[in-house]
Amino acid sequence: MAGSKGMSGAAYMSALAAYRTGAGLCRILTDEENRAILQGQIPEAVLLTYDGARAEADGEAFKEMVAGAVKQATAIVLGPGLGRSEARGFWWRPFWNRPSCRWCWTRTG
């Protein structure tokens, strides 16, 4: 999960790093505003997008959407370009103790 509105570079670099380190499939969860840029930069990635305003307005629905998106993930990169939004910042807590998943944290701001 990377790249809030206007921060597509963070999502791109995270996905590129994942591919370069051997990821077979990379899903990018990012703000809808980044779709066109990312599809042009890294078309092999599966792109999942969200509406940033909706995520802020309905944090629970956003968390459910994210839960479905990361259900089968074996590794998660969290943080680059997300900002300090509460809705986007705490979705990961239910997955933290999942032993089958590796995490990479970055800090924004």
Verdict on whether the full-model pTM lies above 0.85: no
In whole angstroms, how far apart are CA 10 and each of 55, 58, 60, 71, 99? Answer: 19, 24, 25, 22, 26
93 in helix, strand or coil? Answer: helix
Q: What is the pLDDT of residues 18-38, one digit of tens each?
A: 889 888 888 888 889 999 999
pLDDT at 93 over 70: no
Give the end-to-end CA distance of the chain in Å, rounded to a whole number. 16
